[in-house]
A and B are shown apart, each in its own frame.
Chain A
C-alpha cells in the first residue's frame, strides 16, 4: 500500500524555520526535488502557484522557501529566509506567477517549477504539491523529452536506460525494498523507468545504486 507518511519523523518533525510546514518546509522540499532533477544551477526560475499557494505564498514565506530548495538548502538552514537574495546575487532570474485557475494536479497547495539553463538549453518542469507537515508529492516531471506522471508519494527513483539495463536496478532494489510501481516512459532519446519505492533509501544506498547508473534521479 502506498502511504505518504512513512516515518514517525514525518509527524514529529521536520525541524524547520517557521511559519508553515506545508507552505514553507513543504515548498522547500518541492524546490529540493526540482534541484535533484535539474542537477545544475539554473539561469532562470519560474514558479507557478495555484489555489492556497497562490493566495498565501507571500505571507508564508513560500517564495524564499521554494528558492532555498532549488539552491539545495535544508528547511532548517539559517540561509532559508535570504534565499531569493542569494539566488539573485548569482545572477539567477526569478519569476513568481499566481495562477487564477485550479491546480492542474488537483491539490490546493500546488507549485509548478520551471528551471532553465540558458547556457546549455537544459529545461525541466516539476509539478509538486505540499500535502501537510512538510511532506510532498511530485505528480509531474518534464525532462529530456520525457513526460513523467508519478502517482505522487515519494520516494521515487528515475533511471534512464533500456529494459535490459534495468535488470541490475531491479535486482538491487528488490534487496532493499518493495517496489510499489514500475512504469516505463519513452522519448526520442530512449527509455526511462520510474520506480515508486515503499521506503526511503539511506544516502549510502542511493550512492550504491548510482555507481552503475550515473544518471539516476532519487526523490
Chain B
C-alpha cells in the first residue's frame, strides 16, 4: 500500500503509469475484486455525485430541516446567468457545484462522502467543472476519482480526515488537496506537479477549524466547500504553471496532523467554539434544540 505521497510519485515515475492506474492496481491487490468490479463501483460513485450536483441547483433548490442552509446553489446559478461574475464563470460554476452538493447533504439527501460528508462538495465541484472546461469523457472522470482517492488514502492514514480529530483542514483541506492533485494529472501535469498541487492546497488551508453552528453540518460547512473547490483549482493551476510549495508534500501532511492534534477540542467538531460560539450561533442552537440542550453542554 502506498503510504506516502513520495512513494506514489516515485512509483508513477518508475513504472511510467498514471497514478489512477497504480491506485486501481492497489485496490485489486487489497480487495481481491476484479478491475471491472472496482471500475464500476467508482462509476456508481460518480453517478451519485452528478445527481447531487444537479439536484441542489434545480427549481428552488433544496433546504435543510432547520432552515439554516439551502437554496443558495440556485442563487449562484441565477447570478451567473444574469450578471458578469467577478471571479469568472468557471470559478462560480465550480462553487455552484460544490454548494449544491453540500446543500443536498445538509438536507439529508444522498451524497458520496469524499472523503467526508461535510466536505462532499469539493471534489464534485472540481470534476464537473473540468468536465466542461476540458471536455472530459466519463472514463477520464472516473480516473480522476481514483487519483484523488489514492492521494486521499495517504492523507487519511497519515493525518486523518475527521473534523473531530483534525479540524476542517482535515476534511475540506484534504478534499481540496485531493482535487488539486487529481486535476493536475487530468490536465497532463507530471506526478511531481500533482504532489506540489497537493502540498500547496493543504498549506493554504492549514489550521482551518471545525466549528459547526449547533453541531450541524450546515454553517459554515456548505460554503467551506466553495473555498475548497476554489483552492483546488488555484493550486492545480499554480502547480501546472511550475510553481512549487518548497516544503515537500509529505512534510506538509505531517504538519497538518500536528496542527490538528494541537487544536483545542472547542474547535474540533464540538460546536462549542469559533462561529458556533458567536452570539448568533448560540441563538441558532437554542432555537433549534431549546435551552435544555445548551445547559447540558
* Interface residues, chain A, with chain B CB atoms under 8 Å away: 1, 3-25, 51-52, 55-56, 58-61, 76, 81, 98, 107-109, 130-135, 199-200, 202
Contacts and interface: CB of A to CB of B under 8 A. Distances in A.
Contacts of B41: 9
B289 A98 contact: no
B211 to A, nearest CB: 11
Nearest to B146: A8
A200 B31 CA distance: 7
B32 to A, nearest CB: 6
Interface stretch (B110-118, B183-191, B197-205, B239-247): B110-118
Interface in B42-69: 42, 44-45, 48, 64
8 contacts: A3-B1, A3-B157, A8-B38, A8-B146, A51-B164, A76-B110, A109-B162, A132-B171
B162 to A, nearest CB: 3
Interface stretch (B8-16, B131-139, B215-223): B215-223
B271 A56 contact: yes
Contacts of A9: 27, 41-42, 45, 149
A78 to B, nearest CB: 8
B182 to A, nearest CB: 10
Interface of B: 1, 3, 23, 26-27, 30-33, 38, 41-42, 44-45, 48, 64, 104-118, 120, 123, 145-146, 148-150, 152-153, 156-157, 160-166, 170-171, 178, 212, 214-218, 265, 268-272, 288-289, 293, 296-297
B266 to A, nearest CB: 10
B112 A59 contact: no
Nearest to A81: B108
Contacts of A107: 165
Counting chain B CB atoms within 10 Å of each CB, the highest count among A8, A76, A107 belongs to: A8
Contact of B153 (A11, A22, A56): A11
Given A3-B157, A18-B104, 15 more contacts: A3-B3, A5-B153, A5-B156, A8-B23, A8-B153, A9-B42, A12-B115, A12-B145, A15-B110, A19-B105, A56-B216, A56-B270, A59-B212, A132-B161, A132-B164
A7 B268 CA distance: 26
Contacts of A98: 296
Nearest to B48: A15
Given A52-B270, A56-B215, A200-B31, A132 B162 contact: yes
4 pairs of A and B residues whose beta carbons are closest in the complex? A132-B162, A56-B215, A18-B105, A11-B152
A97 to B, nearest CB: 11
B170 A59 contact: no
Contacts of A20: 116-118, 217
B45 A18 contact: no
A134 B111 CA distance: 13
A10 B27 CA distance: 11
Contacts of B48: 15
Contact of B293 (A18, A58, A76): A58
Nearest to B1: A3
Nearest to A134: B113
A21 B157 contact: no
Nearest to B24: A8
B156 A7 contact: no
A12 B161 contact: no
B100 to A, nearest CB: 13
B295 to A, nearest CB: 12
Given A59-B216, A132-B160, A12 B148 contact: yes
B110 A52 contact: no
B113 A55 contact: no
A153 to B, nearest CB: 10
